[in-house]
Amino acid sequence: MNPHISPAPEAPAASAGAAPLKLRRVAIDTYRENVAYLHRDCEVYRAEGFQALSKVEVTANGHRILATLNVTSDPRIVQCHELGLSEDAFAQMGVPPGHPASIAQAEPPASIAALHRKIDGERLGRDDFHAIVRDIAQHRYSKIELSAFVVATNRGELDREEVYFLTEAMIASGRRVDWHERLVVDKHCIGGIPGNRTSMLVVPIVAAHGLVCPKTSSRAITSPAGTADTMEVLANVELPFDRLGDIVREHRGCLAWGGTAHLSPADDILISVERPLSLDSPGQMVASILSKKIAAGSNHLVLDIPIGPTAKVRSMPDAQRLRRLFEYVAHRLGLSLDVVITDGRQPIGHGIGPVLEARDVMRVLENHPLAPQDLRQKSLRLAGRLLECDPDIRGGDGYAIARDILDSGRALEKMRALIGAQGARPFDVEHPALGALSFEVTAPRAGVVTAIDNLQIARIAQMAGAPKVQGAGVDLARKLGEPVAEGQGLYRVYAAYQSDLEFARQACLRNSGYSLGEPGEVPHVFVEF
């Protein structure tokens, strides 16, 4: 029905429109949620009937963004004639301070109906996921709505077809790189194992062989160091995307932070709520990892799923279920995927924390006598798998070729080239810049190391300051199955600040992360790849 609408005879002429507001940058970091600030006495605020936590649409110079409204009575934050935007939001507008801007009640994101269906437990279709992810990437979801989406799609709430739709939508939300190469390879680990810096060895080995491996990594999300944090000890990792492309074309690889590349940007926004909730469901993990890799232009991926009592995946049936989900979605998206299930019973290498891990990596590359053998072996195996996707390499020969590249120094040479191209930072493998404060944790009795708790060791390294404090972390002196005498060191904790040292010491006192016992008590692992 189209109603007839007539002005009331007594209606006065339209009142003059309110003067436009002036845009102001409010220097508050609100972490990927756009926030707009209005003064409580602002005429527009009073007139429009905005409600608490209203979503508003801010328009300036033809650009429009959505933001959550906060109200202030402090004119030093915004004055009555101003419209404040948090740092990220202001940057998105792309106009100078003082530019005229208008604000209006935002219509709810178009995909909210689909979100509600998901909350109600329904299965969503391809268009639903594309609509939701598009709204997320355009900052149309509040943190509250993001959390609702993350919880509603957690665990068993997404079937594999839905995970495929979600992944596809996340790829479509950002840039997709085309390297114009037949083979573009990458490796990735689902995470959870401290010290597991194999990428920094696999990339130089594979690139030295000649395969293209444009590795972009995250910073630590819940761990004491991500590959980007550790690489940052050796080189600049925040490179403009065009510069990254040049490096990859010249050197066949890179080891950079992925944040500048606008690859699967919806994923970065979802992580901003998954992290504080400590949620990492299989469906979200698959969509996050595969969308980033495919957007980065990879067509062949080796995926590392560590398994162990304190790893993310704790049983072989769980690992196999996760493998099948990765394989299903990768196949639908045309990505060649090789899943390896690895030993995740303990940290890899000795050091945990950016500087300590960089030291381990460089020791392996330099064939140093103190190089951690587990890090070396695992990296060679993963690099071997990747090399075998080269049609000129026979299945089974990859490991030996990788070992030759490492032992001959060609991997070290390639790493030095990458470091130089990205912008080298001073680093001395014999005298790494560790935190000036430290303490040692020693064995209360003689025995054999029967367990090392990945989560607790990671927590101690974080409390000591990693990854923010590059030289902070944990340096393991004993690994699984090794004997130790009473009073001998198990590990040393490094920190730069006394308060961090004390936090870490308290954590060690509550739980050192080590168990000692008899040799027969060391858990076996049946994963060999």
Is the CB of residue 202 less than 8 Å from the CB of residue 325? no
286: CB partners within 8 A, 6+ apart: 163, 167, 322, 325, 326, 329
Of 41 and 407, nearer to a second copy (C-beta) is 41
Return the SS3 of 86.
Answer: strand
Q: 366 or 502: whose CB is closer to a second copy?
A: 502
The token duo for 302 is 């080796």
Q: Is the dihedral of CA 17, 18, 19, 23 positive or negative?
A: negative
Least Cβ distance, residue 90 to a second copy (angstroms): 12
How near is the Cβ of 361 to a second copy at its closest, in Å? 22
Q: How many CA atoms lie within 13 A of 220 on its CB side?
A: 27
Nearer to a second copy, 119 or 333 (CB): 119
Question: What's the closest the beta carbon of residue 468 comes to a second copy, in angstroms?
Answer: 4
At closest approach, how far in Å is the CB of 45 from a second copy?
10
Amino acid at 486: E
Query: Whole-number minimum distance, CB 494 to a second copy, in Å?
Result: 9
Tell me whether residue 36 or residue 417 sits nearer to a second copy (CB atom): 36
> Minimal distance in Å, beta carbon 3 to a second copy?
4
- 280 catalytic? Reply is yes
d(Cα 225, Cα 202) in Å, to the nearest integer?
Answer: 18
Nearer to a second copy, 76 or 182 (CB): 76
Nearer to a second copy by Cβ, of 14 and 180: the residue is 14
Q: What does the alpha-carbon distance between residue 474 and residue 351 come to, in Å, rounded to a whole number?
A: 6
3-state secondary structure of 74: coil
Token output for 301:
């991926």
Phi-psi region of 139 (alpha: psi -120 to 50; beta: other; left: phi over 0): left
Q: How far is the CB of 370 from a second copy (least distance, A)?
A: 19
User: Rounded to the nearest 10 degrees, what angle do helices 373-387 and 354-365 cross at?
Assistant: 70
CB of 200 to a second copy, least distance (A): 23
Looking at the DSSP bridge assignments, the partners of residue 326 are: none
Catalytic residue among 88, 128, 135, 280: 280
Contact by Cβ (8 Å): 467, 257: no
Report the run of H or E that residue 21 belongs to, with start and end: strand 21-26
Cα torsion 260, 263, 265, 269: sign: negative
Whole-angstrom distance, CA of residue 357 vs CA of residue 227: 9
228 and 219 Cβ atoms separated by less than 8 Å? yes
Q: Provide the CA 152 distance to its chain's centre, in angstroms.
A: 21
- Look at residues 193, 220, 255 and name the one whose alpha carbon lies nearest to residue 468: 220
Residue closer to a second copy (CB basis): 419 or 496:
496
Tell me whether residue 171 or residue 228 sits nearer to a second copy (CB atom). 228
Dihedral over alpha carbons 201, 207, 211, 215 (to 10 degrees): 60
Known catalytic residues? 280
